[in-house]
Amino acid sequence: MKNCLVTGGAGFIGSNLSERLLFRGCNVRILVNLSTGNKRNLEHLADRIDLMLGDLRNINDVDNALKGMDSVFHLGAIPSVSRSINNTEDTMSANVMGTTILLDSAVNNNVKRVVFASPSSVYGDTPSLPKVETMAPRPRSPYALSKLTGEMLCENFSRLKGLETIALRFFNVFGVHQDPESEYAAVIPKFVTALLKRERERPTVFGDGLQSRDFTPVENVVDALIKAMETPDGAAGTVFNVGCGRSFSLISVLEMLGEILQIEPNPVFLASRPGDVKHSLADINAAKERLGYNPHLHFKEGLEKTVAWFQGEINVPL
């Protein structure tokens, strides 16, 4: 995978992946429209990457980005559950039509493999835990539906057009470069920044705080992405869970953050949000066995690393 395209490479996961690919000696091209990503995430890589501004829904932009590429990490998307409820058309257009155009262009440009980023929310509210890839999906939001459709498109392109694709379902990723200011930001960066601001802001919990997630440090996700790209032939058209295989409630996360920062969390509780799933836990046996994935960074270590990074960003001493 010498020549790699990363769609959405200015985003949280994409920028972490791009940095790791460069470290491994890859030539990295990034296609972004900056609707959700941030060029600041790439400032330290600016002289080493080929940054292209364009939209996944524009065939010419995608074709130009794919010329000469061996492999594609498709992370570009409109990524929010609540945003997809408020603006369904935009989410479906970017995530479904954008993926269709990218896969079609990948075939035309003789790309060897596409690794597609998908969320654990495609499982929906099925009560069985842990979530296993063989379960029937039950997406509860347009965002989850759009990503499930992307998975199915990948499987179709593998089966019908010979394009090697692998889809990875990420479970609640967190870590450096995650944006806490976005209206649609994930819970851990929101918790961390609220606690770092101490008296000026209190962390907000939607629901009773007992909902649980398989929180996954971004370093583990980057490992999984690279292993999915490098695994020998035979996994094409397949979906794999990527998590840590252990879940924590929001209340317990706040307690751990309080211990790290040595402050009392004192959260504000609000009503549950529509589309949110109560519990989530990944079965990662398939990824371990077939991709060689192993989550080397545990949750508490990832949390400490994340706190340290946000502490530097916000410039509040521990």
* Cα distance between residue 140 and residue 277, in whole Å: 8
Task: State the DSSP string of the chain.
Answer: --EEEEETTTSHHHHHHHHHHHHTT-EEEEEE--SS--GGGGGGGTTTSEEEE--TT-HHHHHHHHTT-SEEEE--S---HHHHHH-HHHHHIIIIIHHHHHHHHHHHTT--EEEEEEEGGGGTT---SSB-TTSPP---SHHHHHHHHHHHHHHHHHHHH--EEEEEEE-SEE-TT--SSSTT--HHHHHHHHHHTGGG---EEESSS--EE--EEHHHHHHHHHHHHHSPTT-TTEEEEES-S--EEHHHHHHHHHHHHTS---PEEEPPPTT--SB--B--HHHHHHH-----S-HHHHHHHHHHHHHHHHT---
Q: Which residues are identified as catalytic?
A: 143
Burial letters 216-241, b for 16+ CB under 10 A, else e: bbbbbbbbbbbbbbebeeebbbbbbb
CA 187, CA 162: separation in Å to the nearest integer?
39
* Structure-token pair, residue 21: 């690919």
Query: Counting every residue, how long is the chain?
Result: 318
